[in-house]
Chains A and B, each alone.
Chain A
Amino acid sequence: MNNGLELQNVSLRVGSRQLLALSCSVAPGEVITVMGASGTGKSTLLAFIAGFLGDAFTAEGKVFLSGKELNTVPAEQRRIGLLFQDALLFPHLSVAANLKFGLIRKVGESPEARDSLIEQALEKIGLAGFGDRDPASLSGGQQSRVALMRLLLSEPHAILLDEPFSNLDMQLREEIRTFTFDTLRAANVPAFLVTHDLADAQAAGGRIIAL
């Protein structure tokens, strides 16, 4: 059961300066976009939701995921996935090991079953047979797809996207953007996108909150 991500009266401050105040809820399968210029606290908001807000900030308000309050839950137990500006594939692991890193361990599951799961996942992103490859040998677009698949394999209950397309060149951006949002809708998880690019927001197709 997944009732989405809900922010209740969230207010972020740095010292005495108010960064933002926000209440909203994101339904499963919806991508909500938060837009604003740099310095408006977009990334800080994501850090707060994901559970690693820096010491310099003070936060009020509550975050609920599937009806459960998250404020005191440590980041690694929140089941909130994060997609960064860069693909950030672990350089010391193979492509398959990168995908396995976040794979939820299921009781009684054989290593072979896990391997075939990874192989299917690679097929889905058009990279069948790439499992043993060095991530550094992949193209930028291929790396982005692996990063997204790694995120989905960790079975997040919500996904945060921190300007995920801003470091891609124009042509690739279009392709990855479409791929990402199609995949997110199919996964049916609530997603929270921060960006300063209106094209991102339009492609996301959900509500837009301007800061």
Chain B
Amino acid sequence: MTWATRFLFLLLGAPLLVGSVLALAPAFAYYMPDGSFNDPLNHSSNHPAGLIPPAFFALVSTPGIATSAMTSLLAGLLTPALSLVSVFLFLAATQTGRASKLIAQLAAPVLAIPHAAAAFALALLLAPTGVASRLVATLAGWELPPDYLFINHPNSVALVLGLALKEAPFVLLVALAALPSTAAPRRVALARTLGYGPTTAWLLTVAPALYPLIRLPLFAVIVFASSTVDVALILGPSLPPTLSVRLVEWFVAPEIEQRQLASAAALLQLFISLSALGIWLLFERLIARAYATIAARGAPREASRVSRFEAVLTPVGNTLLPISLVLVLMGIAALCLASVGGQWRYPTILPTTWSLQHWSAALSSWQTPLFNAIAIALLSVTAAIVLSLVTLEAQARSRAGTASLSTFLYLPLLIPQVVFISGIAVFAERTRLPPSLLLVAVGHFFFVMPYVYLTLQSGYARLDSRWLLLAKTLGASRTVCFWRVRIPLMSTQLITAAMLGLTISLSLYLPTQILGAGRVPTITTEAIALVSSGSRGTIGTWALLQSALPTLCFMLALLLPRLIWSKRKGML
């Protein structure tokens, strides 16, 4: 292992460890008879007290805590399950033909839209007075909006749907990236000659080979869905909210008891996220066993049995994922309408009057949040790119292995954001670091780094090693090799990594809110602060503003290489 790799292990590992410990430790504080309390982080106190710290009693006796925890657990399991099923059925039904390429092109920009903006879009689309309801009302001749609760409903359908709409494109792109290494067409062709229909053949032969390759990203989805704060604030149940939302409420409260309660909740959150992972692993086993049973049953001999299974799965696979993408796009349209709508009587599909007042109101207050968001994104992404390149370059020169590091880099994505980030906030408080833009950028770095590193790592792996050998035989030093051969030849991956990092940072809510202590507003925190405002127009405007920069980054990732290398066809 090179020194750079070790440094990176330390740089990522130490804050993760310290952050998690500091987030959980206050839960173990004891009250003394004289009213003071025994702080486990303060070694001057040495009073042993009861066996179970009071914060746990307080947490257990909090009304609705079990419901909150269950909601988080269910969201953590249903979101990845829904995403995985829709993606696998889609790939099985379309056999990665032209349709899947088109959908992948549609899925990529959806990936760039921040979770919060997508959640707002879904809310404006599917609410009782939303665009979808108006479409139905116009057709069915309704006069009044239907009486149903979608957003904030205790059954969490909106929360899971909102999360799955954003995670399915992610799973799709990860799966498409891994698919070539499974030799899918050959597997399907073989199974079809044995009597299986194409969809069934894909599910039986390609899926088991593909799944292990996308497991780690799926684990990240599980942890994210079980601990998300922004989407849960917008779409999740409110009575009671998810565990993560309540944790943040307690954490930012001024009372020390609340802070201890937040720590106990962080421990519970960690337990819930790990439980979701554990249950997922259990299902993996069960499904693997079911697969073995199905495979052992042998190929269907009668045509009717082939077609029955196929006839159900193929249309479902063909439609499920495209519908989810259409929902997001319709939601974006709903945001646009709302942002320029004045009066908007119920059954009409388009606003009755048009107005730019929401935009002019937003434009008067967006400079600071915009500046902050861009500064934080640039700082964290620059740091991530420089550190990734230093590490990868050192590894390339020493030919050391990299596998352990890339797994390790997933850690920030496998520990619930709330737990880790609140611990970093406690650390900053204890070392008297004031909330600042720089501190927020440090927080963002941990979530940007995995994606930047993994993108650049694949760039390093894919670069034909003969380029560097050639440069060396022409007398180029290591420095020349790096700057004049490696960097230009990897420019497309560098741009992709930078834009991906910027997109992630621009969309991050929790690290910004907690580490900035509300004093470093960004477009994202401002947009989410509007959740309780209830103004359709303001929400539409800010959700679009929040999506604008990530979408721009996404387009730049596609356009920049074409612009830079317009005269070098070999680079495209």
Q: Which residues of A contact B (CB under 8 A)?
A: 50-52, 55, 74-82, 84, 86, 88-92, 101-102, 104, 134-137, 150-151, 154, 156
Contact = CB atoms under 8 A, between A and B. Distances in A.
Max count, chain A CB within 10 A of own CB: residue among B475, B481, B568? B475
Contacts of A80: 473
Interface stretch (B146-154, B198-206, B438-446, B463-471): B463-471
Contacts of A104: 475
Nearest to B470: A88
B476 to A, nearest CB: 6
Interface in B359-406: 399
Contacts of A86: 466
A104 B570 CA distance: 26
B466 A81 contact: no
Contacts of B470: 82, 84, 88
Contact of A75 (B473, B485, B488, B571): B473
A91 B489 contact: yes
B564 to A, nearest CB: 9
A153 to B, nearest CB: 9
A163 B472 CA distance: 19
A89 B467 CA distance: 9
Contacts of A76: 471-473, 475-478, 481
Contacts of B475: 76-77, 79, 102, 104, 154
Contacts of A51: 472
Given A88-B467, A90-B485, A134 B568 contact: yes
Nearest to B491: A92
Contact of B472 (A52, A89, A137, A150): A52
Contact of A91 (B399, B466, B473, B571): B571
A137 B485 CA distance: 20
A136 B489 contact: no
Interface residues of B, number: 25
Contacts of A150: 474
Given A84-B470, A134-B567, A92 B476 contact: no
B570 A101 contact: no
21 contacts: A52-B469, A52-B472, A55-B399, A75-B469, A76-B476, A81-B473, A84-B470, A88-B466, A88-B467, A89-B570, A90-B485, A91-B570, A92-B571, A101-B476, A102-B475, A102-B476, A136-B568, A150-B474, A151-B473, A154-B473, A156-B473
B565 interface: yes
B6 interface: no
B484 interface: yes
Given A90-B485, A136-B568, A136-B569, A101 B472 contact: no
Question: What secondary structure prevails in chain A residues at the interface with B?
Answer: loop
B569 A137 contact: yes
Interface of B: 399, 466-467, 469-478, 481, 484-485, 488-489, 491, 565, 567-571
Contacts of A135: 568, 570
B526 to A, nearest CB: 41
A3 B469 CA distance: 25
A136 B571 CA distance: 9
A50 B474 CA distance: 11
A130 to B, nearest CB: 14
Nearest to A52: B469
Nearest to A153: B474
Given A55-B399, A135-B570, A101 B466 contact: no
Closest A-B pairs by Cβ, 7 of them:
A91-B570, A102-B474, A136-B570, A136-B569, A92-B488, A82-B473, A75-B472
Nearest to A76: B472
Given A76-B476, A102-B474, A150-B474, A82 B568 contact: no
Contacts of A81: 473-474
A150 B477 CA distance: 17
B568 A101 contact: no
Nearest to B565: A92
